[in-house]
A and B are shown apart, each in its own frame.
Chain A
Amino acid sequence: MGERGRLRLRPDEVPAPAPDAEELLRRVAAGDETAFSALYDLIAGPVLGLVTRVLRNHAQAEEVAQEVLVEVWRKATRYAPGRGSALSWVLTIAHRRAVDRVRSHQAGLDREERAGRMDVRRPFDDVTESTLATLDQQRVRQCLAALTALQRESIVLAYYNGYTYPEVAEVLQVAPGTVKTRIRDGLIRLRDCLGVDR
């Protein structure tokens, strides 16, 4: 509303920059479906990419991504801008949903089997060899590369594969407590390397 008013006052100036995800999410919280459509364009790629990475199954991933995107609409009123970026909030929902799906579908022996078959180098290579190497992706790749091997593998297996830290420990053949601290140390280094605010 205020934005539009200001635009009318300055018709000769260049158009205002497109609203960012935070502003769109604020409008979505007020029930604005047009804003949701614009927000969708910003978040659908990361959401689908992340859940595909975790689930490794395109049909399932699309289903979960769809649920996540509708959840963003449903829960938009619960987003607190002071607590982080809109994309971070959205991807937190997406990751949790993907992980819940993995864990509900694959219990017990099946998961151990999956862990046993895992080639631990692959997820990182997926990132490093991505053909969609945007600046942001390059930065993530560089920062991941700056970690110790154990930190990197622990984080990649936990985040991109949706493993619990004891499962990561099993795959890497180290003590669970070691994985727990390596994940934390590695994330702190990544946070500083990426300049993550919150």
Chain B
Amino acid sequence: MTAELHMLTGAYALDAVSDVDRGEFERHLGECAACRQEVAELRATGARLGAAAAVEVPPELKAVVLAEVARTRQLPPKVARELGRAGIWQLRTALLGAAAAAVAAVVIGVQARPPVPSPVDSVLSAPDASAIPGAGQGSATLVLSRSRNQAVLLASGLPALDAAHVYQVWLIGRGGAHSAGLMTAEPSQRMLVTELPPGTDRIGITVEPAGGSPGPTTPAVTRISLTGAS
């Protein structure tokens, strides 16, 4: 990313850019996870300024809005955000390449049978495979198949850790957070295949002491929300 473009996160978050600047910056955002994170935080900061401007609302406005809502159709949810089937195939190629290059995959609940790529392939080739981008540090993508109850998590660009720490992946739902394993592969690209227990609605990656923890002990550096991605 160019430093010049990165400086635009604040003005962009406050809608203080021209349409031309916005278009250019949004193309940049597509490939800069750190910028997306910063924009999200600065937008949330702007929203606090907005909330501080709250006023009393004339009571009749509610009736008008509710009447309008009653005759307004809702948009359908986006199932696979940002990545269509073509994107999944690209990701698949990248993942299989990574697996072939002996990037360690932690396989949970599935017997890892040679060749190594098979659980990954099983998810990625599922007819209902969909991809969800994560939010936070680095760039994380979860490809999941509800029919196979499995998901592949691919994270790249997470900061390197010292020998005393590891990245640990958590499946989070009503019942709390359950470890899906440690990401111990190459710092540049980490991959993990996991079963998705019913009720899992978020996945988080935290930094934990080497060997992992029974439960998350630090805030998630990256989160992926599964809600809405049926």
Contacts and interface: CB of A to CB of B under 8 A. Distances in A.
A164 B17 contact: yes
B73 interface: yes
Given A95-B15, A196-B41, A73 B51 contact: no
A96 B52 contact: no
B47 A87 contact: yes
B81 to A, nearest CB: 8
Contacts of B51: 46, 50, 87, 91, 136, 140
B16 A158 contact: yes
Nearest to A186: B10
Contact of B44 (A48, A95, A132, A196): A196
Taking residues whose C-beta sits less than 8 angstroms from the other chain, chain A's interface range is 35 or more
Contacts of A159: 14, 16, 46, 49-50
Contact of B45 (A2, A53, A185, A187): A187
Contacts, number: 204
A48 B224 CA distance: 32
A82 B53 CA distance: 25
Contacts of A112: none
Interface in B109-150: 134-135
Given A82-B135, A92-B47, A187-B14, A44 B57 contact: yes
Contacts of B64: 66
B74 A73 contact: yes
B61 to A, nearest CB: 6
Most buried by B among A80, A81, A95, A177: A80
B163 interface: no
Interface string B50-70: 111111111001101110111
B42 A66 contact: no
Contacts of B44: 84-85, 88, 191, 196-198
Most buried by B among A181, A184, A188: A184
Interface stretch (A9-17, A25-33, A114-122): A25-33
Interface in A61-109: 62, 65-66, 69-70, 73-85, 87-88, 91-92, 94-96, 99
Contact of B54 (A78, A132, A168, A179): A132
Nearest to B11: A165
B13 A187 contact: yes
A140 B49 contact: yes
A180 B10 contact: yes
B2 interface: no
B77 interface: yes
B16 A82 contact: no
A65 B15 contact: no
A31 B74 contact: yes
Nearest to A96: B15
A46 B50 CA distance: 7
A140 B66 contact: no
B218 interface: no
A183 interface: yes
A75 B225 CA distance: 17
A180 B111 CA distance: 53
A74 B74 contact: yes
A164 B14 CA distance: 9
A73 B69 contact: yes
Given A33-B66, A164-B16, 5 more contacts: A49-B50, A74-B72, A87-B51, A140-B51, A184-B8
10 contacts: A45-B56, A46-B51, A49-B55, A66-B64, A87-B51, A91-B46, A136-B51, A141-B52, A159-B46, A198-B41
